[in-house]
Each structure stands twice: as C-alpha cells, then as structure tokens.
Structure 1
Amino acid sequence: MKLHINLFFILLSGSLGFAQDHSKELVYNTPNSQGLDSAYIYHKVDSIMTRGIQERAFPGAQLLVAKNNAIIYHEAFGYHTYDSLQAVSKKDLYDLASVTKIAGPLPVLMQLHDQGKLDLDQNFSYYWKPWRHRKDKKDLTVREVLAHQAGLEPYIVFASKLIRKNGKLKRRFVRHHYSHIFSVKIYDSLYLHNRFYRKMKRIINRSNVSDEKKYKYSGLSFLLYPEIIKNITGVDYEDYVTDSIYRPMGANTLMFNPTGKYPDSLIVPTEIDNIFRNKTVHGWVHDENAGLMGGVSGNAGLFGTALDLAKLIYMYQNMGVYGNKRYISEGTMKEFTKAQYAENDNKRALGFDKPLLNNSELSISQASPAPEVSPNSFGHGGFTGTYVWADPDNNLLFIFLSNRVYPNRSHRALYNLNIRPSLQQVFYRADEHE
C-alpha cells in the first residue's frame, strides 16, 4: 500500500507558511492540513486504483487532487503498458484527448470574449464564413455551438477517406516521405497532402444539422477553432495559447506534438493503432482527426503532466486568476461555466461539461461525476481516460490521467467500474473520518 507522502514538499510548504497562503497558486501539503483524513484517503485510493489495474481498466494512472490552494494528493500507479517495464512517474506526459477542448481553444475564446472580439450570441457563421451560405448552419449561434445545442453531427471519421478497401493508404493523400506537397506529418514516416484539411473543412461545412435543437455532443466545431482564432488574432493558435496562457503560468509541459520536445521515456503511449498508423501511438496524438491536422487541433492533441494541467484548471476554479495574474475576467468565467440550456435538459456549459442535472440524487454508478460535487462545478473528460473537474464551491480540484485505451479502445472497465467518480467521492467523504 502506498501510504507515503512527498515529505520534501510538505516540509517546504510548512517552513514557508504555505498552509496559510491565500494566493491563487498551487502548493503541496497534506490532506490533514485541509481537515481531511490522510489515512482514509490513501487507503481508499490505493484500493480503487489497484482494482482498476487488476481488472485492466488501465495499465497505469495518475491522480492529483487539490483542496483550497494545496495539492493534498499526487500519486502515480502502475506502468506505462501491461508489460510492466516502466512504472508511471509524476513527470509523465499524457495525451489529454478531449480535455484539449477546454485546455486549448477555450481559454483563448474566453479571452477573446473579454476583449469584445467574440460575441456568444452572434451567429457562428460571422466567424466561420463558409457557414453563411449553408441554410442549416448560417443562423446557429456561438452559444448554441459551444453548449452542444446546435444539432451538429457528433464526429466524422476523416481517416476513412485515406484508406482503400484492402486497408492500404491512398497514395494521392499519404506518402512515406516529406515533400512540399505532402508536408503535414501525421506519424513517423507518414505525410499527408497539404490540401487534405480543405477536404475536412468541406465535409464539415456540408455535414447534416438536426432540426431538433437539443443536447447533442459534437466535436466538429473544435476542429475549426484553430483557424478561427488565427483569423481573429492574426496569431497561430498554438503560439497564441502557449504565449497567453501556458507560459505565463509556468505550465510548460502543456504542448502539442511532444516528440522531440519532451523525453520519449516520459511520454505515456496510448493505443496500438490499426486504423492508419498500424503501430503503437506514442508521442503523437491518439485522436485520428487531430492527427490529420498535424497534431494541432482544438478537439484533441494537447499533452501535459498532471501538475501543469492542474495549474490551468485551478485558474478556472479561481474564476480566472492564477498566481498574481488574471487571465480571464470573473464575469466571463461565470458565464462559460454555467449550464446554458438546463430548461431543455442540456447540462452543458460553454465548452465545459457539468454535473447531470439531478446528479446529487443519483448513486455512484449513475452519477456523473461523483454525486457530492456542487452544481457550480465543471470539467471535461477525454477518450484516452483523462478527466478534470473543478468545484469552486468546495475548493476541490480533481485531475485523473490514464491511458485506458491501451492496448485498444475496447477496454471500458474504467467506466464499468466507476473508477473516476469513486476516486472523486473519496475526497468529499474524507472529512467524515477525521
């Protein structure tokens, strides 16, 4: 049982008086320092994580939890893969999958809203011109699109356009060597035709829209935000979010395409892909659509460590402030993190996920996330098994990182065992065991 705590950080934080520090910056401390039962937390988390690994919910995982401004739990479990050769480290970099949506384009969109450059009730087609000529899309608002209320198709498998019936890649789209025409690197020795993204956009622009306006999760618009952000700011999306968000808060491991920027040994592999890469996806984005955009997208593609991701989510929890810097106005944070169409049975905020509308009344097997979270809490999950949640009412931050899709995406024990809500629940109940 891993009943150990990082004493270095505990002693450091205690000696500097961090336990009483009310600045908007994360520091390490113990669960007991925040009135929670350390022994109970470590026992329960160990039990849940051990079962998850034994039942192949994931080969390894990492959990970081902060209460108030103190990181009270940060531990790694298991291995990178089921061969048990490399143990998970707290410095490991994970493919964040759809957590990218709230960690990549969303903070930029919120800043643009603060600057008066993005109007939530303006037609999305005002910012994405091709939709101005699409009868079913021209009147959709930014608010409807961000809240998944617009009726857009959930997902389009663009990789299917690359593959012949015999499973081989079409040479008109993919080559094994770089050239000025095939310059979009999509994996080791795989280069995509420069104009394929145009094809993706055409398909999105022509995609169906439901006549019925109700909650329907769609990631399609997040494939467009990088270009929209560049159109509005004049700066490449990756550079903008790095320079305006990640670098100022010291979240330097939040990055796209980490191969060559971060030690390969500390990048957790995701899936053994049999769609078009036909090898283990390691250091490249798992999501195929993001991969076809060269790994830099708004729907997926971001990698990060638990600690640096926690800085960003903690900024959200503090309504736009981290350290001594305000990144997003409090008004914008409150608007983006509230349910937009609850009267229409849509729990979603703007980009952010929210608890089920009757979440507090549900059992742990039915709730999403844990039943104890506040209605004002928010977060997002990722297909690879990642999950982040911020609860400003309880000052509780939850970060779970795993590669549950290893060796393939058919592994669903993470969901069937209710791993993430069960872990989250531990920290809401820990004060009952003092």
Structure 2
Amino acid sequence: MKKIAVLIVLLMAFQARAQKDPLQTKDSIAQNKWVDSIMATMNVEEKIGQLFMVAAYSNKDEAHEKFISDLIEKHHIGALIFFQDQAVKQVELTNRYQSLSRIPLLIGIDGEWGLRMRLQNTVAFPYNMALGAIRNDKLLYEMGKQMGKHMKREGVHINFAPVVDVNTNPLNPVIGNRSYGEDKDNVTRKAIAFTKGIQSEQIMACAKHFPGHGDTAQDSHKTLPSVLHDTTRLNSIELYPYTKIIEQGIGSAMIGHLSVPALEPNVNLPSSLSYNIVTKLLKEKMGFKGLIVTDALNMKGSADFASSEEINLQAILAGNDLLDVPLNVVKSIQLMKKAYAKGTLSEDRLNESVRKILKTKYWVGLHNYEPLKVENLMSDLHTVEDDLLNRRLVENSVTVIQNKNDVLPVKNLGENKLAYVKLGKHNNSPFVNRLKDYAKVDVISGKSAAEILNKLKGYTTVIISFHTSLGAYANYKIDDDELLILQEIAKNHKVILDVFASPYSLLKIKSYENIDGIIVSYQNTGLAQDISAQMIFGALDFKGVLPVNIKDDFKVGFGLQLAGLNRMGYSIPEDVGLDRNRLQRIDSVAEVVIDSMMAPGMQVLVARHGKIVYRKAYGFHTYDKKKKVDNNSIYDLASVTKILGGLPMIIKAEEEGKFDLDAPLGELMPVLKDSNKDTVTVREALSHFAKLMPYIPYYETMVEGEENTPMKKYFSTTNSGKYSIKVAENLYLRTDYRDTIFQLIADAPQRDVLEYKYSGLPFYLFKDYIEKTYKESMDVLNHKYFYGPLGAVTLVYNPLNKFPKSRIVPTEKDEFFRHQLLHGNVHDEGAAMMGGVSGNAGLFGTSNDVAKMMQMFLQKGYYGGESYFKPESFDKFNRRYFEDKGVRRGLAFDKPQLDESMATCGCISFKSFGHSGYTGTYTFADPETEIVYVFLSNRVYPTRENNKLGEADIRTVVQMLIQEAIINE
C-alpha cells in the first residue's frame, strides 16, 4: 500500500506538471471569452490563415509590401516574422499590416542576441556562448527583461529565443556561439533565467531547436543534419533543458529540422514534420501545452523533403501550430482546405492550433492592440540601461583559464617592457588603444616568425590577441602560420593570449605549456576588446568560467577568479552615478572657449569611483587649425607640476624620515642657512604661509636692449660643457647658473606681513634637496618611483626627448625672453633655467596620465597593486594647518576657497585637493564624491596676455557642471 501511495503521488505530480498551460493568463476567463468570440466568427480559410507566419522585410520594395498586404487581406494570414533591417520602417509597416487584419497579427523575430540580430542601430547583447561564461544567472534574467522591453517597443510579440541546444560538438557549424555551452545544467539555468526575464515583459520566449541541434556537424539551413544518439543519451542531454524549461512555463518551442532515428524511424523525415517527435514526444510524453512553431520552412533541412504545400500540411498534421517562413502560402492554404474537406486535416486538429495561436495573441496583449508610436523609437531602443547591462554582461563573461607565475593582471609597469602582436585579420584597434592607455605597449608586426622574434628582443611580456570576424557563424580557427608565431614567441617571452572568438579557437593549439596567460573574451566587439584590455591591467576583476571543454586541458565550468589592482577603468557616466546629458554641457563650454579664442584647444577628463567616464579633446593645437587636439596630445602642465612633480618625492622623503614637517629649511638646504628663510619650516613653506616672495623674474636681469636679447655672458646658441642648460631651441644657459638661482632665492627679501601668499620658490629648493638626498635627478626619481610604475607614460619633463614634436601642444610665442614659439620646451622661465626639470613647473602630460596620479592620491598612495606611500602620509599633506589664519591650502595641495576667491567652483568638499597651472591647466579630486577632474589647455597661446580663460573662470565652471551631473544616490 505504501508503494502504491508513492506512485499515486508521483503520478499526480506528473499530471499537474503536464497540465500546466503556459498560454493561459491570470484572467483566464476573459482570455477564453475573447478566444471563443473570435473562433465563433471565423470560417475555415480564416482559421487556416492563422497557421502561417510569413517572412516580412523592412528593406524591400513596394511589390513586397503589396505581397504581404494581399496575404493579410485575401488569405487572412495570422502572423509575420520580420527580417532586415530598419527599425522605424518595421514599426510603420507593422502599423499598416495590423490595420489590414481583422484579427491582430502575431509579430515574431529571430532576435537571439537582441533586435540588432535583424535591425540596424539597435542593441546587440553578447552571443549565448559568452553568456554561458557568466556565473550570475540573474544577469541573464535582466538581459531577457531588457530585450523584452525592446521587443515590446518595436511591436514584436514572440522572440525565437533562447537557443537551448547543448553544443557538445565543437564542429557544429550552425549552433556554436548561439549555444550557452556544453554543460546541460548551465544551458538550462541560463535559458530559464532569460525566459523568465523576457516573458516578464509579455514577450513570449521560444525554446529551440527541439529535440536538440547541439551535436550535429551539418547545417540545417543547407541539408538535413543527423543526431544519432540513443534515447538514453537524448533524454539525459538533448531533451534535458526542454524538460526543465517546460516546467518553468516557457510559452513556445521551435521544432528543428533534424533526422533523429531514435525518435523517428524514417531517417528522411525531418523532426519538424514528425508526428512521433512533435505530438507523441513533445506534446504527449513531455506534456507541453505551449505554442509549437516550426523552424523556418525555407531551410533545406525541410524544403527538400517534398513540395512546399505538402511540407506545410505535414507540419500541421505532425502537431505544429505555427508555420515559420512557409513557402507557397496560397497553394498551401488551398491544399489544407482540400485536406480539411477530406478529413485528413480534422476540425479538432485545426481548432486546437488556432485556439493556441489566439491564446498566445491574448497572452501578448493583442486583445488590447494599439498602433505603435514612431516618435523617439530609436532612443527608446538604445538606452543607458542597455549600455550598463551590456557592460555587466561582458565584464562577467571574460574568462581566464591559465595564469602561470601570476602574469595576470599585469604588474610592475616600471620594469615590465610590454609588446603586442596581433593574430587574425579583423579589427583590433579598441583593444590596442585601451592597452596603450595603461602603459607603453609597442605594437610589433612582421612577415615571419623570425622577423617578429627579432623585433621582440628585450621585451619582457608579449600580449597576443586573436581577432576573428564578428558573427555568430564566424570562422574561429587560428591559421597554422599564426599558431607557429604564437608558439615561438611563447618559448622566449612571457605571453598573454587573449582570444576574441569562440573558445573552440584554442583547440588547434597543440600545447599550452609555454603560454603564461590565456584569456577567452568570446566576441570581437569593441566593448569586449575594451573591457578585456582593462582586465589585463587590473582595472576590473576576472569572473568568467568556460562554457565548453577545451580538450582535456580546460574543463567546462573552469575559470580563475582574479581580483583587480585598483587601476583606473574606463566606463560610461551612469556606471558611476553621473548623468551623461549633463556632462555633455561641457561640450558647449568648450565651444565657447574655442570660438572666443580663450584657447585654441583643450582636454577635459572626468572620473569617478576609479573609472574615467568622460574624456574628450576639443579644438586644435594652435589657431591655424592644422593639428587637432586628441586625447594623446601632450600639454605643458605648468604649476600642476607642484603636486604631480615636486610633491610625490617630498611625501616619500618625509615618510622615509629624511625630514619632518617642522624642520627649518636652513637644516635641509645649506644655501638658506643663516638667511632670512633659515627658520621657515617645511610646513609653513609648503602651506604658502612663510613671507616668501611669490616668484623671482630671474630672466629680466639676463636680457639686454630694446629687443630683450639674451646676454651672451649667460647664454649660447650651441650646447657645450659651459652652456648645457637648454632653455629653448638653440638657446643654452650657463651650466653653473643653477647655483645662482638658489642663491637668488636665499637672498630675496621676505615680505613684511605673515599671511597667506602663494609662492613657487620652495619647489626650486626642494628639487635640489631631493636630488642631493637621493643622488639622482628629480625627473629620473619621479619616473622610477611614480610615473613608470603607474603607467603614466606621458608624464615627463623635456618631452621632446621622448615624444615627437607633433604630439606636443605649443604654448606661447615668447617675445620677451626666448623669442620663439615654445613647443616642447617648458613655458615657465624659471623651470627652463633649471633645465626643464623643477618642482614648480616643467612637467608635461595628457589628461589620462594626470588622472592616474590624482587617482593614486585619492586612493591615499595605493594604485595598481602597489603602495606608493602610506595613507597617513597622504592625509598629513592634504591637511590645512593654518586654516585659522585664512590659509586654504594644504601642503602643496591647493584646496577649496575659504573666502570669495575662485580656487574651485565652491561646490566640492573641503577634503578636495588639486592645483591649477598658468598655461590653462587644472586638476582636482574630491574624496567625498570620488571625482577626479582634469582640464588641460594652452590658454597662453599666442601670448600670456590672453587670460580670457581665467577671467571667465572656465575651469571652475566646468567643475560646477561636473558636480551638477551627479545623480542622486
């Protein structure tokens, strides 16, 4: 009796599952009433017409549109499936076709990875293979939901997705990237999550390709593929996802064109036409009561079986409800009418499908049909939410499967000499450009392995990426000659291989032994390239897992989770709580700057939470408009040097106990001993609270005549041992004059009143102190301890020694000292007399590299896996010590104003820190909002008399716009 009771319970559970109707809505009484009312008014031909889902196009001519209209009006077809390629046109056509139909049309689409699969300028989400690499299934739900919103807005009711084929055959020519992978459980979880997401928006999902297209080596578009497994295997693998997804309420299923002898003895009969498979297996044994749709009936997998009319009739007799892309619709309707008259197509069989189709129409909301609005369609189909979700999907999919010697993420940028080699013939520019944002990465190419290996001598780490074409059916195989190059490089260097293709591309690699790092990025999209490059340098964590097996070396489900290094990333404003539309108001400010000749060009960068989200270049290098400013243009940073050039080594020295903040300058700098600055403390000097003169115009006593010609006693036009300090092109200062500068500072009178007064003089002296203490030039020290390890490649003194002149933005046409256009030589006269290397000025760079230093400060000395100094050391220098005396500054850092002066916008926190520069530069960071802001320009072009930029407070106006862009969090 106990066993019988258990059997009864199991039977009841099975029946309950089998009887669940996914087409039934919550208001089932109203639904049935609506269906019954329509059924009562339909004749046989109208019922037969409901079975046809005809292919419609938005990029064809009027003849095609008339063809579709005639099928609707004259033959009462019940559904359309749209193909290429215009979203707006498709909406217009949908409205027109719906107006012609007495019963609302069911609109379908093949949108496995979104509307972009069919419609231009819409959103494409990653292919299923990439989604199969994601650990967090909730992201699949969110993607399905977002896709459902797109479909609803476009007037689509059923999306022929998800693909639930378990792709156990790497040679599968038609599924591959369209599958979530080889693991049936992972495929099932992903499919269910997606289905729940899209159906939450009243868009019906459709599981395909029943009974399972995963283990085929043939394309059903071209022939009839065979699946030769026995029923035990089919039940455990191919049919497993269908069993589970049916339980979870998927609305429809698509029958593939397959030969499956274990299920259908007639090997020539496609599964889509098999009563054994459609009715006996899917409907009866598996209990599926949802809508059953054939795969496209123009595919060779079915089209070669018989005439189109006979195929369409056979598909309905087999148990399908909806014929997808049928051929010869008019003749098929005539044949079905004859079959109905003869009883071959019974009334019950016809009514069953028609009723299910009508229930589906009610389920998707067609009982309350309203025409679609064209206004704002394209913006509705591509939203900020889409961009954010796409980033999350890619960030969670990129997979590391090998990481020998912790080659990932890349560390030690100061010592690690990096090169890049490309495999494959398709686009790689987003990847390479992003790599170069992090470090100096040299692109190496050659016609042979030998040539490439020769060029790679001296490099420590080589990043190699493989790029295939972007497409679900793209050839993912790496060419043999490129495999040879890969293996040869790997024998001699640390190698990181990044594959922007199916993970199956790794199958041809004979040995993975010498490849230190292996990354699978799945698709050759710009977004995948961008994010993968960021991960290589530790801006983002690696999270993905392999959705397939790579021989016996890397098993499905394997993936190394690697934490990032707190390097800056690159994203979109909304990812960090900023509004892109508000930020874009900066564009208007830039336009005013350039049109009003405040500066010929500029760079603006905004970062938040460690991610750069706004990075633009405007205008030209000069007003002749010959050279555009881009994000790689290098600017003279002027006094921003004080915090990026002078201060880092000062903090380091103080932390290492070389001095303390209350040490008198006379103890540190012998030239000041017994001078009027002898007892001024470091704290006072760096706070600009020390009676120091603002500056000394050294050069004024070194020129003569009405033309202010440099005196020959101080300057020479040629470089020599006596005249070795370059102050401009073909102008060299006496080598011994540096000591004179220090003595002039020592001899300069002090101001009478002790009050806040900005002075650059301490930074000349600290340069000398640092160099004598560490026994190396300050530019070398900064590169060794800061710029090199940070990957701040463009932060340099004397940039002409490292970069082409064309990349450097000119500053001023100096008409009173150097009598030439200053282009790559420091603008500040005093810094020039120090050989271009000083603590007060002399540093050049891009907004990107300025931001790295500022982010390192914001993170209190930590960046990229390294600690540059302790958090308490940063706090010590970012503190106002004389606030009660009206001094707004910290130690070297400028800080928000305490009075009416315009140091900042007045809208950032007192924890903020930064600096401005005479040439039109500015940078600030706010620990409270975690915003880093960089503004670079050459406002002194053509001369310093042009101060419109400062008079209009443009830099703080932009800062205000950034603050206003913060979204309430």
Query: What TM bracket, shorter-length normalisation?
Result: over 0.9
Following superposition, the deviation at residue 254 of structure 1 comes to: 0.8
Matches of 2:776 and 2:967, distance apart in 1: 50
2:681 corresponding residue in structure 1: 141
1:431 equivalent to 2:966? Answer yes
TM-score by length of 1: 0.93
| 1:188 and 2:188 are equivalent in the alignment | no
Structure 2: which amino acid aligns with 1:151?
A: K
Paired with 1:118 and 1:227, the residues of 2 have a C-alpha distance of 14
Correspondent of 1:37 among 576, 579, 582 = 579
5+ residue gaps, structure 2: 1-386, 388-428, 435-525, 542-562
**CA root-mean-square deviation:** 2.1
2:915 pairs, out of 380, 400, 403, with 380
CA apart distance, 1:22: 7.1
Match of 2:566 among 24, 44, 47: 24
Aligned equivalent of 1:414, options 949, 954, 961: 949
Contact 1:22–1:69 (CA under 8 A) maintained in structure 2: no
Instruction: Please state how far the C-alpha of 1:432 moved relative to its aligned partner.
Output: 4.7
Q: Which amino acid aligns with 1:28?
A: Y
Q: Is the 8 A contact 2:577 2:967 kept in 1?
A: no
Shift in Å at residue 279 of structure 1?
1.1
SS at match of 1:100: helix
- Which amino acid in the other structure matches residue 269 of structure 1? P
Which 4+ runs in 1 deviate beyond 3 A? 5-10, 12-23, 431-434
Secondary structure in 2 matching 1:122 = coil
Q: Are the equivalent residues in 2 in contact too, given 1:59–1:78 (CA < 8 A)?
A: yes
Residue identity opposite 2:744 in structure 1: I
Partner letter of residue 686 of structure 2? L
How far apart are 1:292 and its partner, in Å? 1.1
Matches within 5 A, 1:189-208: 189-208=730-749
Correspondence for 2:236:
none
User: What is the aligned partner in structure 2 of residue 314 from structure 1?
Assistant: 855
2:15 paired residue number: none
Give the structure 2 partner of residue 162 of structure 1: 702
- The aligned runs of 1:30-429 (5 Å cut-off) are 30-42=572-584, 44-134=585-675, 136-166=676-706, 167-357=708-898, 367-429=902-964
In structure 2, give the amino acid aligned to 1:69: G
Higher relative contact order (CA 8 A, sep 6+): 1
Q: String of CA shifts for 1:37-67, please: whole Å, max 9, x gaps.
A: 212211x111111011111111000001101
> Between the two proteins, what is the percent identity of the paired residues?
37
- The count of corresponding residues between Structure 1 and Structure 2 is 423
User: How much does 1:210 deviate?
Assistant: 2.2
Q: Deviations over 1:162-205 (max 9, x none)?
A: 10133222111111122221122221111111222222222111
Query: C-alpha distance in 1, partners of 2:710/2:951?
Result: 35
- 1:4-63 deviations in whole A, cap 9, x for unaligned? x99876824556786788742101100011122212211x11111101111111100000
Alpha-carbon distance in structure 1 between the residues aligned to 2:892 and 2:910? 16
Q: Distance in 2 between matches of 1:267 and 1:191?
A: 21
Q: Which amino acid aligns with 1:163?
A: V
Q: Secondary structure at the match of 1:319?
A: coil
AA partner of residue 594 (structure 2): I
Whole-Å Cα distance in 1 between the matches of residues 727 and 679 of structure 2? Answer: 34
**How far off its partner does 1:206 sit?**
0.6
Q: Deviations over 1:113-148 (max 9, x none)?
A: 1111121001111111122211x2111101000100
Contact kept in structure 1, 2:710 and 2:818, CA below 8 Å: no
Q: Do the aligned partners of residues 19 and 318 (structure 1) sit closer, same or farther apart at CA in structure 2, a change above 3 Å counting?
A: same
Counterpart amino acid of residue 580 in structure 2: S
CA distance in 2, matches of 1:14, 1:188: 42
Question: 2 CA distance for matches of 1:418 and 1:183?
Answer: 39
Q: Is contact 2:608–2:932 with CA below 8 Å preserved after alignment?
A: yes
Q: Quick one: distance in 2 between partners of 1:168 and 1:211?
A: 34
Code of the residue aligned with 2:964 in structure 1: it is R
Contact 2:924 2:934 in 1 (8 A): yes
- The offset of 1:301, in angstroms, is 0.5
SS in 2 for 1:71: strand
Please give the alpha-carbon distance, in whole angstroms, between the structure 1 residues aligned to 2:597 and 2:670.
46
Helix, strand or coil: the match of 1:185? strand
| Whole-angstrom CA distance in 1 between matches of 2:695 and 2:667 | 23
Given residue 217 of structure 1, which amino acid in structure 2 is its aligned partner? Answer: Y
Please list the CA deviations of residues 236-278 of structure 1 after superposition, one character each: whole Å capped at 9, or x if unmatched: 2221111011101111211111113101111000000012211
Q: Residue type matched to 2:797 in 1?
A: F
Q: Secondary structure at the match of 1:296?
A: coil
Q: Which runs of 5+ in 1 are unaligned?
A: none
Distance in 2 (alpha carbons) for counterparts of 1:350 and 1:424? 22
What's the offset of the Cα at 1:352?
0.5
